[in-house]
Amino acid sequence: MSRIAEVFSQLKREGRRGLIPFLTAGDPDLETTYHLLIEIARAGASVIELGVPFSDPVADGPTIQRASERALRHRFGIAEILDVVAEFRKKSETPVMLFSYFNPLLQFGIEHLGREASVAGVDGVLVTDLVPEEAVEFSQKMKTHDLDMIFLVAPTSTDARLHMVAERSSGFIYAVSRAGVTGARTEISSEAEHLVSRVRRFSPLPVAVGFGISNAQQVAEVWRYADAAVVGSALVSEIEKLSGSPDLVQHVGEFVRHLFPHEADEM
């Protein structure tokens, strides 16, 4: 059983739901990314999504686009990101999944990625622009190295697509709350709950909901019907606002702690 599967299994046994924060690797720099991973794990993250910066992140809104731009100025690659994960793995067992576009992974080499990511302690991969129909070889390589393959589904996904994703996914299924790009929102689309119920008809895997979740109240809403909530742009925005501050890591940790619904009244 993978680390991701173990975490969701434990959450289910305890009657709890998960929180999945997202970071862009290298924003503001790789050393800070390492410390943020440690702090976010300590803050209670169930799984951490580590974004691979890309020059043309078409599925991301302006907040994560700017994070990628800042990170790319440091001119590092996937090897350096995996080094950070390997150092983090010495301190924590919290699962880490790479969240990436296909081009950087292809340039690194698919077999090389599977082997090196596994050695570093990565637990899964989600490739935003790699559809299931075209992911057979990639998925096989990842699974050979015991990496979970996570796919996105959206409110516009047909039942046939949901069935295909269910057959080819492991770890969990990522349900996009609405059509469009990433970004914090004041409310969660009503389509998300319906999408999760549709996914459950095809798969017993946990379902995480992301896109637009930015505070404890929204996390609580998602927890009513999904197994985990993903918080990306709101967290990346905090990192952007605190860039250069010696208290960045500590403040981001507090931000994550206050995403848990039991903290909502103290925000």
- What was the pLDDT predicted at 71? 94
Rounded-to-integer distance, Cα 72 and Cα 55, Å = 8
Question: Does residue 32 contact residue 249 with C-beta atoms inside 8 Å?
Answer: yes
pLDDT band at 181 (very low <50, low <70, confident <90, very high): very low
**Would you name the residues annotated as active-site residues?**
49, 60
- Report whether pLDDT(96) > 60: yes
Tokens for 158, please give them. Answer: 């047909």
174 — phi, psi (to 5°)?
-95, 115
Q: Strands (DSSP E) along 80-234, which ranges?
A: 96-100, 124-127, 148-150, 152-153, 173-176, 207-210, 228-231
- What was the pLDDT predicted at 186? 46
How far apart, in Å, are the Cα atoms of 76 and each of 36, 37, 100, 175, 239? Answer: 18, 18, 15, 30, 19
How far apart, in Å, are the Cα atoms of 27 and each of 40, 142, 200, 237, 260? Answer: 15, 26, 35, 11, 24
- What was the pLDDT predicted at 59? 63
CATH number at residue 126: 3.20.20.70
Rounded-to-integer distance, Cα 132 and Cα 84, Å = 29
Nearest to 36 by CA among 208, 229, 243, 209: 243
| pLDDT tens for each residue of 241-258 | 998 899 999 999 999 999
Share of the chain above pLDDT 70, in %: 93
CB atoms within 10 A of CB 115: 15
Question: Does residue 166 contact residue 202 with C-beta atoms inside 8 Å?
Answer: yes
| Partners of 231 in beta bridges | 21
- Report whether pLDDT(88) > 50: yes
- What was the pLDDT predicted at 242? 93
- Report whether pLDDT(230) > 90: yes
Please give the residue that has the higher pLDDT: either 145 or 61: 145
- What was the pLDDT predicted at 184? 46
- What was the pLDDT predicted at 56? 79
Rounded-to-integer distance, Cα 186 and Cα 167, Å = 34
| Partners of 179 in beta bridges | none
State how many domains the chain has. Answer: 1
Average pLDDT along the chain: 92
| Partners of 100 in beta bridges | 127
Q: Strands (DSSP E) along the chain, which ranges?
A: 18-24, 48-51, 96-100, 124-127, 148-150, 152-153, 173-176, 207-210, 228-231
Residue 79's domain spans which residues? 3-266
- What was the pLDDT predicted at 228? 98
- What was the pLDDT predicted at 189? 60
